[in-house]
Amino acid sequence: MGLFGLHLNLGPTSGAYLIGTFVSNVLLGATGVQMYIYFRSFQDPLFTKIRVLILLVLELLHGVLSMQAQYHYLIDNFGNPLALTSSIWSSNIMFSITGGIILVVHWSYAIRIFYISGSKILVPIVIVTISLAIFSLGICLSVELFINPSLLNLTGVRENLAKAGLTMAAFNDFLIASTLSFHLHRARTGFKKTDKILDKLTTYAVNNGILTSLTDIVALAFIFAFPESLYSVAISQVIGSLYSNSLMATLNSRQRPNVDDPSSFEFSSRALSTFGAAANPQIPVSTKPAVERSFLMSFDSSRSVAVESV
């Protein structure tokens, strides 16, 4: 950018932030489609629906604030390069919103792990505790940006808060993916139909965990490699949307319920906690058909859905 004889390289700063905003809003559209499919296809418990609605509100709020920030820098302050050196209220708040999205998603996975592990509480408590810490760090980062909005020097307290938050998020993603994979593997009973579903759930758990943790790691790497740029901030624009999409993909990966066919009911976390993952029973071959029918009928058929999947 050339202005009054000044030549500014906006690629690592405003350019990166603009691209991050664009990708984030594209993913917001994908999240909206997934939520539409979810509410059309499933009748989950109220608590699950509330979590999905909270995600929707946070995602929409994040999208609106990101566009407001871009309008401030690109339209209201067009031709004013000094405006690019300070953060504004909308961009500051987005770090807290991203922390809130991560908290809701990790909390949801912690509930699933609690049920499929046979109500073992240690790992879910660790996951929720780390998620609360990430959310708190997001709030602290927002406060720091309000106190010191200058973007000329991003090192110091703000950099350390971002590093801590991304590191804990990546660790939590790895912990969730590995724990889900372990318990889902234990749930294998030798039934071809049920094992196929378990393999599908394991694939979703691993893929979602790898995607979000790698994104956190890439953002962390950019902080170390380019501490004065906004590359890491651009990636943080996308992180919240990736978490939301990972949870919605998990919810929508379930088979659509069919009241006339009990075998169409997808595995629920609570069903797994009472059969399979929690006890890992050794079942004689002669009893497999009866046991499988019993397992499939263990769902809440009065509501035509699994009790709860996440």
Question: How confident is the model over 77-108, as pLDDT tens digits?
Answer: 887 777 777 888 998 999 999 999 999 999 99
SS3 (DSSP) at 6: strand
State the Cα–Cα distance between residues 88 and 155, nearest whole angstrom. 18
- Please give the mean pLDDT across all residues of the chain: 79
Structure tokens at 66: 């990101």
Task: Write out pLDDT tens, residues 118-171.
Answer: 888 999 999 999 999 999 999 999 999 999 888 777 778 888 999 999 999 999
**Hey, how many other C-beta atoms are within 10 angstroms of the C-beta on 49?**
14
Least confident of 56-65, 181-190, 250-259, 283-292: 283-292
Q: Greatest CA span in the chain, whole angstroms? A: 85
pTM: 0.80
Say what the pLDDT of residue 169 is. Answer: 95
State the Cα–Cα distance between residues 134 and 256, nearest whole angstrom. 34
Say what the pLDDT of residue 279 is. Answer: 43
Say what the pLDDT of residue 119 is. Answer: 84
Task: Write out pLDDT tens, residues 46-63.
Answer: 999 999 999 999 999 999
Give every CB contact of residue 171 below 8 A, 6+ residues apart in sequence: 130
- Residue 177: pLDDT over 80: yes
pLDDT > 70 in the chain, percent: 78
SS3 (DSSP) at 3: strand
For 2-296, give the CATH class: mainly alpha
Q: What is the CA radius of gyration of the chain?
A: 22
Please tell me which residue, 130 or 201, carries the higher pLDDT value. Answer: 130
Domain ranges of the chain: 2-296
Say what the pLDDT of residue 9 is. Answer: 59
Please identify which residue in the block is written with the tokens 């629920």.
268
The one-letter amino acid at 207: N
Helical residues (DSSP H) of 117-148, grouped into ranges: 122-147
